[in-house]
Amino acid sequence: MQDFVSIEGLEVLAVVGIFEWEQEITQPLVIDLKMAWDNRKPAKTGAIEDALDYDAVQKAVTSWITAKTWGLIEDVAEIIATRIMAEFNVSELQVRVAKPTAVKAARTVAVTIHRKREA
């Protein structure tokens, strides 16, 4: 069985959308991350250096999303997955990006992707 570190409900205001008016405002995105990580070593040592630093992950994700404008939430999900795997040495993860304001009659619209580093 594999270990995971999760961040659920990370809210980030972003310029995101395909319509011209959406590129002039910020809208909330809600990010859920489930990242594969062997938690045995940090549990034994108690050292942050051995753990997946979820505070650093959330700060990085927020920075990446707010640094540019986006068209599709699919783009947002792919960038998050690619950069977490590269910058935090995560071998596998699931990323969910929700845009609660996308469809008025729905609670939210979301894209979920699963990525795994190839051996």
Residue 99: which of 79, 70, 67 has the closest Cα? 70
Q: Which residues are known catalytic residues? A: 99
Q: How far apart are CA 29 and CA 94, in angstroms?
A: 16
Buried b (16+ CB within 10 A) or exposed e, 68-102: eebeebeebbbbbbebbbeebebebbbbbbbbebb
Q: How far apart are the first and last CA of the chain?
A: 19
